A and B are shown apart, each in its own frame.
Chain A
């Protein structure tokens, strides 16, 4: 075996009272795709972000290509040879794709008069996008006009352009749908074949086993074990991740659709530009309806329209009793909750505490007279959600920004479940959460279903749709192309044809 390109020795990291890493030793070799897997809060993002200069270790040493490695920032690390694509959005709104890709380097496009050659800037940015296999995005496009997945691809192009020796991809695939993931996998293989190293972080066990050459498992800030390709075994990896065997069913164990006759929500002939065309959909009480498709198929817009956050050009979005839903305020008043795919931007106030985030949804429930917020009632309400959802936190006053992805998602669930939402619109509810939290969320969805709540689950993961839904609607180019009923024979292969 060749010499490691990156050596991390006895790395420790503390955030206040939280110990994120304990004496972690990690060697990464050139020409390998190294997977990092573990539950939320296990330390995967922390160890990789230390290598990529996002933050400094509390103690420990790093060596990159044999030399001591002490990057002062992500830019410094990227210049030195380690680039990272972060889990959440890393682009800047209000500027173009080109300006994002060449952020901080625009001066190279200035002519003798000091005027930026925009044509050249846009051409180079377009070339960078082509370089990673994206053909339809050009440098002059405003970043705000792109969806979450495409913005992620812009980030990838930006980092790859610097030709790093190590590329860290942190939980990025969850932001991408099938075509986006294909682009990323191709890129990873290409870089590996060129002798570069890739550190790939994902919660998706199937994906990580498929894509990686070696796999390192972290748990509670400790490095548990590194598996080589021939040692890959899903059960062994899962056990290493959670320190115990998973109990009970992962998805639903029944294979028959079951829901009440009573309609919870109905969409009739809904149109919204190119995103939604003639959508007719009925959601019943006690039903989980799954919606799937490729990126840009319109499924995320569907979620927003059902919550009143996007106004359809024609058609009707209404509750079972005929009450029209045309804005989020009306939706919430009528017990509809919405979990956005873009959790950190649309579903949470990161600078606020867990208490603030959960309690805001339930003020009508616990406030005296519907307006007086007393500390005792609020604390009881919030603590109840923390206990019910097993949110790992030091206290209800902990900042939400300090939580791991899975626990953040639980806070969002707490906001909507606590206030007794009867209809839940969940856009990629398990994005960026680990296997243990995923199972807990599936069990929660089943509990809510049994209580008669109606759930619309938008997902880019077909196993999740098949495993949890009573009915699945597949979308393509803004239209529903097929509806599947739950049955034991349903597989990915049955569905994919209607997506592409």
Chain B
């Protein structure tokens, strides 16, 4: 009897762990089915999902470090837009690819660091600083884009300079390298492990001698690198930037990492792979809904269904944990 209960418990935990992967496979199968049923070209649609998903996954991978601390950054989309804008400006001013990349990463990291300094040094709640930052960055980027872009409604770099990089192989390598570095940092270094501890209980972490400010700044820096990489991949995919570029990334990351099996409260049960699994799951779900609901009301219904799906995932992933609590 005891063994049976133990096994049932283990199976429950395993189910919760593999559920995001199962969901990804099911969504992929559904996507293939829907595209085939509609008679569209599967390779083209897969490429669309991949190109959208890879940007989301890259930015989300960096963002996991922030979410692990038990906080969040809603300005990541705006920061991606801002970094891409700075990249375009840098290239158009110098026609130097290296300087463009430098400008993109510097912008991404500076935006993130600014958030972290406000949050850790001045003790302003991250959700306040990132909401403010989102408005500021969007406004600045939009001003630059509308001023410089004029009637075109956007600014761009010559597509020829990024054409060679716009292929799945390059993007997969970029994503894999960044993910592996983050995976290593997150799971196998003192810094990553301490970030999980802070997310679990910041008071206890402080009374264990862990420096909150140091790890907050580190988390936002890694997220800034993710933003830079995301902005770069955005330019590789579409070498122009408009005011709506990456606008929904901030909120999509939040949904994606929960889809990937990460607890919204962060802490010890945070998982770095949630960014990959959730990022691509989210894009698949989004594209499936857009294909199925082929009407002007598609956007609203898609959002509604995504929200229901989101709540269901949060409930299921937290269910196993909640039922195991002993009375205190």
Contacts and interface: CB of A to CB of B under 8 A. Distances in A.
- Chain A binding surface SS class: mixed
A348 interface: yes
Q: Which of B193, B203, B327 has the most CB of A within 10 A?
A: B327
A340 interface: yes
Interface string A357-368: 001110110010
A345 B203 contact: yes
B2 A350 contact: no
B77 interface: no
Interface string B245-287: 0000000000000000000010111000000000000000000
Contact of A350 (B190, B193, B201, B209): B201
Contacts of B324: 15-16, 399, 401-402
Contacts of A340: 207
B268 A353 contact: yes
B326 interface: yes
Interface in B58-77: none
Nearest to A378: B193
Given A17-B5, A49-B327, A349-B267, A331 B200 contact: no
A178 to B, nearest CB: 25
Contacts of A54: 327
A17 B4 CA distance: 8
Contacts of A497: none
B244 interface: no
B325 A360 contact: no
A370 B207 contact: no
B1 to A, nearest CB: 9
A156 to B, nearest CB: 17
Contact of A348 (B201, B209, B267): B201
A372 B192 CA distance: 10
A351 B268 contact: yes
A373 B203 contact: no
Interface in A40-54: 45-46, 49, 54
B47 interface: no
Contact of A371 (B6, B191, B205): B191
A307 B5 contact: no
A12 to B, nearest CB: 11
A403 B189 CA distance: 27
Contacts of B328: 45, 86-88, 344, 401
B6 A17 contact: yes
A-side interface size class: 35 or more
Interface string B1-43: 0110110010000000000000000000000000000000000
Given A331-B209, A349-B201, A370-B190, A402 B326 contact: yes
Nearest to B3: A17
Contacts of A19: 2
Contacts of B269: 351
Contacts of B210: 329, 360
A412 to B, nearest CB: 10
Contact of A333 (B189, B209, B321): B209
A64 interface: no
Interface in B193-241: 193-194, 196-197, 200-201, 203-211
A311 B143 CA distance: 47
B93 interface: no
A16 B208 contact: no
B151 interface: no
A455 to B, nearest CB: 18
Contact of A55 (B5, B203, B327): B327
Interface in B164-209: 187-191, 193-194, 196-197, 200-201, 203-209
A166 interface: no
Nearest to A349: B200
Contacts of B209: 328-329, 331-333
A346 B201 CA distance: 8
B197 A332 contact: no
Given A17-B2, A54-B327, A374-B188, A352 B208 contact: no
A199 B268 CA distance: 36
A415 interface: yes
Interface in A13-53: 14-20, 45-46, 49
A144 to B, nearest CB: 13
B324 to A, nearest CB: 6
A291 to B, nearest CB: 18
B206 A328 contact: yes
A347 interface: yes
A381 interface: no
Contacts of B325: 401-402
A473 interface: no
Interface string B308-328: 000000000000010011111
A200 interface: no
Given A49-B327, A87-B328, A361 B208 contact: yes
Contacts of B197: 349, 352, 356, 360
B2 to A, nearest CB: 6
A415 B201 CA distance: 15
Given A45-B327, A371-B190, A17 B9 contact: yes
A442 interface: no
A205 B37 CA distance: 74
B6 A373 contact: no
Interface of A: 14-20, 45-46, 49, 54-55, 86-88, 307, 309, 328-329, 331-333, 338, 340, 344-353, 356, 359-361, 363-364, 367, 370-374, 399, 401-404, 415
Given A371-B189, A373-B189, 17 more contacts: A15-B326, A17-B9, A19-B2, A55-B327, A88-B328, A329-B209, A331-B209, A348-B201, A349-B197, A351-B265, A351-B321, A352-B200, A356-B193, A360-B210, A370-B190, A399-B324, A402-B325
29 contacts: A14-B5, A16-B5, A18-B326, A20-B326, A45-B327, A46-B327, A86-B327, A88-B328, A307-B207, A328-B206, A328-B207, A328-B209, A333-B209, A347-B204, A349-B200, A351-B321, A363-B190, A370-B190, A372-B188, A373-B187, A373-B189, A373-B190, A399-B321, A401-B324, A402-B324, A402-B325, A402-B326, A404-B326, A415-B208
The 4 closest A-B pairs by CB, nearest first: A332-B209, A349-B200, A352-B268, A17-B6
